[in-house]
Structure 1
Amino acid sequence: MFEDHLKVVTLIQEAGEVIGRKKLQKMVYIAKKLNFPFQEKYQFHFYGPYSEELTLKIEELCNMGYIHEVKEKVSGYYQYRYEVNEEGNKLLSTYGTAIEMLGTCVRSMNEQSSRFLELVSTIMYFDKLEKEEIKEKVQTVKAKQKYTEEEMEEAFGYIADLKTQIQ
């Protein structure tokens, strides 16, 4: 169990800071789909793949004092920022192990918007389907997002780039 917590701390440390719970969920999911060693179980939810397990791990890590969570009000809603604090860095230096190629991938994802990562993770959720079927599925389950053909092509390209980066 504790090893899985360390992996989440490692991911956040590699990102530097993650702004948004949704973004953090998508980053871990995408990393998992790229065969990084994340074990969290995901199900499809309002904003794409979601893991209750990950939510609980983040809460535990915050309560144990390894991750610093800041809640701030932005344009009428609350946004959360996550950073590994001094205790978390000590934990990683004592028990952590590097996850090869994770940093490059995580930093790239962290530069993207939550909306885009929601699209990327949704596409990856349906990766057993053909490309055209995936597009139809995304248009159905994410109708409110109104993703354009260009955004979808950009997301498919981004997924291909991520896969290339980690080979």
Structure 2
Amino acid sequence: MIQSWHRLLTLVKLAGKIHGRKRLQKLVYILQSLGYAFPEEFSYYLYGPYSPELQFEVKTMVDKGLIQESKDGDIYSYSLTEDGEKVLNLLNSQQQPYLVENLPEALVKEVVEQDSQFLELVSTIMYLQNMGYENTEVIDKAKALKPHLYRYMDKALDWATALRQKNYCPLSPTSSPSCPQTNH
């Protein structure tokens, strides 16, 4: 639990503010697909990859006062509280084996700034790739699952590929078959 909370607190801090539950889910899934060690299990749901475990962890952290959840209309936003900052600083100061690998702030910002429907399609594409679908199969399956997002298809495929090629993958990408083996 501490490992997961450390990762989530770090993520929220780097993002500054995350607008939307769907965006938070997709952000964690995309990072996980790139090899970052987020332990939550995802399955496919209405808006793409979804983790009830992640939702529960975030709710618990909100209840504990580590993450602030605010609502503007139908959109929930998440940011780090003062107590969350203190806990994160404490975790960062301890030399524990569960320290978070360096999440690139540029990557977090790049993902968090994307449109949530676009992230829905990108995470669905990555989910299909992680399930073993290849090239045209991914496109055909994504079109079938997300026909309303077809306008994003080319851009989403290009962006998912670019993310993997930007060496955003952690130093040991063994946790994700989608990360290319590179020398960092």
Provide TM-score, normalisation by structure 2.
0.83
Identify if the C-alpha distance between structure 1 residues 146 and 158 changes in structure 2 by more than 3 Å, giving closer, same or farther. Answer: closer
CA shift, 1:102, in A, is: 3.1
Of 103-112 and 32-41, deviating more is: 103-112
TM-score, reference length from structure 1 = 0.91
In structure 2, the residue matched to 1:153 is 154
Identity %: 35
Distance (whole Å) between structure 1 residues aligned to residue 149 and residue 20 of structure 2: 21
Kindly tell me: are residues 6 and 86 of structure 1, through their superposed partners in 2, closer, same or farther at Cα, counting changes over 3 Å? Answer: same
Does the Cα contact within 8 Å between 1:36 and 1:102 map onto a contact in 2? no
Distance 2:149 2:29 in 1: 22
- The answer (yes or no) to whether the contact 2:25–2:50 under 8 Å persists in 1 is yes
Among 158, 165, 168, the alignment partner of 1:166 is 168
Alpha-carbon offset, residue 108 of structure 1: 0.5
**2:87 is aligned with 1:85:** no
Query: Would the aligned equivalents of 1:11 and 1:102 in 2 still touch at CA under 8 Å?
Result: no
4+ residue runs over 6 A deviation: none
Q: How far apart in 2 are the matches of 1:91 and 1:138? A: 40
Deviation at 1:42, TM superposition (A): 0.5
Change (3 A) 1:165 1:111: farther
Matched residue type, 2:15: A
Paired positions, count: 160
Deviations 1:40-76 (A, max 9, x none): 0001000000000000000000001000000121xxx
RMSD: 1.3
1:118 match = 120
Are residue 100 (structure 1) and residue 102 (structure 2) matched? yes
Distance 1:146 1:98, change over 3 A: closer
The aligned residue for residue 49 of structure 1 is 49
Name the structure 2 match of 1:131: 135
- In the other structure, the counterpart of 1:65 is 65
Amino acid across the alignment from 1:95:
L
How many Å apart are 1:153 and its aligned residue?
1.8
- The answer to whether the Cα contact below 8 Å between 2:121 and 2:149 also exists between their aligned partners in 1 is no
Structure 1 residue 98: deviation in Å?
Answer: 4.8
Unaligned runs of 5+ in 2: 93-98, 170-184
Secondary structure in structure 2 of the residue aligned to 1:100: coil
SS in 2 for 1:123: helix
